[in-house]
Structure 1
Amino acid sequence: MTPASAVRLRPRSVLAIAVVSVAGLLAFGWPLIIDPGSGIAHGGDAPFVFALLLPLLLAVVLAEISEGGLDVKAVAMLGVLSAVGAVLRPLGAGSAGVELVFFLLVLAGRVFGAGFGFVLGATTLFASALITGGVGPWLPYQMLGAAWVGLGAGLLPRVTGRAEVAMLAAYGALAGLAYGWLLNFSFWPFAVGTGTGLSFVPGDPATANLHRFVLFSIATSLGWDLGRAITNAVLIAVTGRAVLGALRRAAHKAAFDATPEFSRAPEASAMVETRDEPS
């Protein structure tokens, strides 16, 4: 089924999302691409520089999307779903990787479109951090990672019925794994110190560091990432049809794609005609 397009993406909005996504990939993958002799790499400054840069870029994207592409009904829907996600996240986070928020991002992104999914992912993680006191240098990375999860759900091909739920469950599992591995990049160089088989080695070839990163992720976070992936897949498989139906009914009533038309009321037309008659 075609997404409801609660957030209309114009060419400038698409360009803004593309720019911030490229910057985000650089932010996550800085250990593999930044010259250890450069100023930004000195003393491990790179992740903090990107942590300051990403909120500014996200703010630009959100402002660009909201300018003419986010009406009152979409704002209301965004506020409700962001609040629900912010409440769900603390209920599971911290227990074997079980996180209850991502299935909602996937289903909402599927129903309301890629632009809405991107904004919902960022606002949900931000609201959750305010509630739980989880504001820190890691927050911009979490916001962007969740935004990509919602964005990707809105870009999936159109299928219906059980095939749609199966596709979304598979996507939720893969997104859960990818989210965890992406976030590992933001702290891996400082997590295990130096001199181990899992350590980041400045100046080594990117392939060698990437190999150590994969070993680090398998050894330290694979259990959590699998927990997140399984949680996403199970929740989407079990609740997908019901939640998709409820969200689509809400989207139908909101009529995001409807174009308002203004016409003169009959009483007003009669008054104008009477006033125009010669006395």
Structure 2
Amino acid sequence: MIRFSPRTALLLAIISAAGLMMFAWPLLLHGYERVQPPFVFLALLPLMLVVLLSELAAGGIDTRMIALLGVLSAIEAVLRAISAGTGGVELVFFMLILGGRVFGPAFGFVLGCTSLFVAALVTAGVGPWLPYQMLGAAWVAMGAGLLPRGPRASSRWEVAMLAAYGIFASYAYGLLLNLQGWPLLTGVTVPGASGNLSYEPGAAFGENLATFLRYTLVTSTSSWDTMRAITTAVAIALLGPAVLATLRRAARRAMITPAEASLRSVE
């Protein structure tokens, strides 16, 4: 796992706090007839990501780790292209979780951002929703890097923990992405659901939050998010041990200095 400085940890906390406001500000502000995307946060996010990358470079990431980041991002783009989230079937999350687990929360955060960005270019999925998807994926990978570490790196306990986390992260990601789009919708009614499920400008925080939770429950939690959770958990359970071992071998090779490599070749 790549170690990062307290300054990088603080920067991650600041970016995450700003990102959370980017998602939740419609619930915190009142009196707006129709909310608009928080363009200030959308502009700041790439700048903060550049600063985070510079912090990681100062902490020891060299060209080999950057190349590894590029390879993993390309793999994620291919997985996104062949699954595309159809019906909630999504193969991107299990690689994000395993990558964040092996390389740590800071690397995982950057991996989540770059993976979704490259995938959007490959699948022509660039739009106003992309910064939200990037940040949500970054949190998924970062969270995997923050999970506790057991006595054995490749134990069944670790795979079971990552599968359980994949289920939680799938629902959390769906909740956040729904929060991004829900305030922009009007006249939302769902068969079998009572009342209007649209955002009400000027309504109390608790009222809008309750409406949003009902909207999420009937529109995505019962279908898309559940399929994403099942796909992610099954992929981690079946492929997790082999992929973790492969990523850890790649990490050890990437972190070997040229001097150490020459010594090993002599031996």
TM range (shorter): 0.7 to 0.9
Match of residue 155 from structure 1: 146
Question: Which secondary structure state, in structure 1, belongs to the residue aligned with residue 88 of structure 2?
Answer: coil
Q: 1:48–1:137: 8 Å Cα contact kept in structure 2?
A: no
Give 1:210's aligned residue. 209
Query: Are 1:128 and 2:137 matched, yes or no?
Result: no
1:218-237 matches, cutoff 5 A: 218-222=217-221, 223-237=223-237
SS at match of 1:96: helix
**In 1, Cα distance between the equivalents of 2:10 and 2:186?**
38
Greater C-alpha Rg: 1
Go from structure 1 to structure 2 and tell me whether the alpha carbon gap of 1:25 and 1:134 turns closer, same or farther (over 3 Å shift).
Answer: same
d(CA) in 1 for partners of 2:225, 2:29: 27
Q: Deviations over 1:100-155 (max 9, x none)?
A: 11100101111111111111000000101111111111111111111111111111
User: Corresponding residue for 1:44?
Assistant: 35
Alignment of 1:1-279 (within 5 A): 4-5=1-2, 8-36=3-31, 41=32, 43-159=34-150, 160=152, 161-193=155-187, 197-222=196-221, 223-255=223-255
1: CA distance between counterparts of 2:7 and 2:23?
A: 24
CA contact 2:4–2:59 (8 Å) conserved in 1: no
Over residues 50-74 of structure 1, what are the superposed CA-to-partner deviations in whole Å (9 max), with x where a residue is unaligned? 3333333333323333344421121
Q: Please say if residues 187 and 196 of structure 2, whose CA atoms lie closer than 8 Å, have aligned partners that are also in contact.
A: no
- Matches of 1:251 and 1:57, distance apart in 2: 25
Tell me how far apart the structure 2 counterparts of residues 53 and 34 of structure 1 sit (CA, whole Å). Answer: 20
* Cα deviation 1:146-171 (Å, max 9, x = unaligned): 11111111110012310000000000
- Maintained 8 Å contact 1:47/1:186: no
Name the CA shift for 1:194/1:167 in 2 (closer, same or farther; >3 Å). Answer: closer
Is the CA contact 1:51–1:137 (under 8 Å) kept in the aligned structure 2? no
Change (3 A) 1:147 1:94: closer
Alignment gaps of 5+ in structure 2 = 190-194, 261-267
Secondary structure in 1 matching 2:241: helix
Identify if the C-alpha distance between structure 1 residues 253 and 54 changes in structure 2 by more than 3 Å, giving closer, same or farther.
closer
- TM-score of the superposed pair, with normalisation by structure 2: 0.87
Q: Say which is worse superposed, 124-133 or 69-78, in terms of deviation.
A: 69-78
Runs of 4+ in 1 over 4 A off after TM superposition: 258-261
- The whole-number CA distance in structure 2 between the counterparts of 1:108 and 1:146 is 12
Percent pairwise identity: 56
Query: Please, what is the CA RMSD of the aligned residues?
Result: 2.0
1:199-258 deviation per Cα after TM superposition (whole angstroms, max 9, x unaligned): 1112212111111001111111121111111111000000111111111111222236x6
Distance 1:252 1:212 in 2: 48
Q: TM-score, normalised by structure 1?
A: 0.84
Check 1:97–1:194 CA distance in 2 against 1; reply closer, same or farther (3 A cut).
closer
- Distance in 2, matches of 1:89 and 1:138, equals 16
Report how many aligned residue pairs link the two structures.
Answer: 251
| Alignment check: 8 A CA contact 2:132 2:177 kept | yes
How far apart are the structure 2 equivalents of 1:61 and 1:180? 25
Q: Tell me the residue number matched to 2:192.
A: none
> Is residue 77–residue 115 contact of structure 2 (8 Å, CA) maintained in 1?
yes
In 2, are the aligned partners of 1:30 and 1:46 still within 8 Å (CA)?
no
